Amino acid sequence: DQQVKQNSPSLSVQEGRISILNCDYTNSMFDYFLWYKKYPAEGPTFLISISSIKDKNEDGRFTVFLNKSAKHLSLHIVPSQPGDSAVYFCAASEEAGTALIFGKGTTLSVSS
Amino acid sequence: DAGVIQSPRHEVTEMGQEVTLRCKPISGHDYLFWYRQTMMRGLELLIYFNNNVPIDDSGMPEDRFSAKMPNASFSTLKIQPSEPRDSAVYFCASSFWTGGVKNTGELFFGEGSRLTVL
C-alpha cells in the first residue's frame, strides 16, 4: 500500500519551459514534504521542502505547492535546464528528521 | 565536511554468501536510516535508528536481514544468506532533529552500495 505516489514515471520538457512534477499521498498525518533529486550512481540530494502549515515554498527556479485537502503536491521548475535531467523523488514524513516515505520517482528529461 | 560514507560502493557475491554493508553517518546526527532502491519498489525504508536504538524495523524484508548500530558513528546492514532478489542499491542516510520552524526534515544520503547477488 503506497502512501506516496508519483503516477508519472517520466516527463520530457524542452529547455526554458516549465517542468511540473506531481505527487499524491494518502496519509493525513504527514507533516513534512520533500523533493529529492537523484543522478545515476549517486545518492539522492535534497532539493526543497514544505511543511503542512504552508501551501507554497520557493527557492530560486524551484517551487513546491501543497494542497492538503487534495493530498497533492507538485514541484515546478522554471525555467528548466538540461542539468535538471534526473530522477525526482517526492517524500513525506510525520515528523521532521524522522523516516521519509518515498514515491517511486519521476525521470525528468530536459532537452536543449 | 564529510557526508555520509558508505562501503563498499559495489559488491558482487554469490547466492548464499554473507554480505555486510557499512555506513558512517554525519557527525552529530542522531538518526540513521537504511533504504533499498529497486526498479520495482523504488526507495523503500528498511530500518531506522535514533541515538543508536532501532526505532522501526518493519521494512526489513525477512530474518536474513539484520542491522546494528554499535555507536553513533557506525552502522552495518547484514544479509545472511544472500539471494539474487536482494540485488539492489542500498542507501544509508542520517539526520538530526533541531526542532523549530527551520527544520526542513532533510535526510542526508550516502552514495549507496550496489549489491549484485549471482
pLDDT of B97 higher than 60: yes
Of A32, A43, A98, the CB nearest to B112: A43
Per-residue pLDDT at B100: 53
CB A22 within 8 A of CB A81: no
Helices (H), B42-102: none
What residues in B contact A98, CB-CB < 8 Å? 31, 48, 95, 97
CA gap B24, A43 in Å, rounded: 14
Shortest Cα distance, chain A CAs vs residue B85, angstroms? 18
CB of B111 within 8 Å of a chain A CB? The answer is yes
pLDDT of B118 higher than 80: yes
CB A81 within 8 A of CB A74: no
pLDDT of B102 higher than 70: no
CA gap B26, B93 in Å, rounded: 9
Q: To the nearest whole number, what is the mean pLDDT of chain B?
A: 92
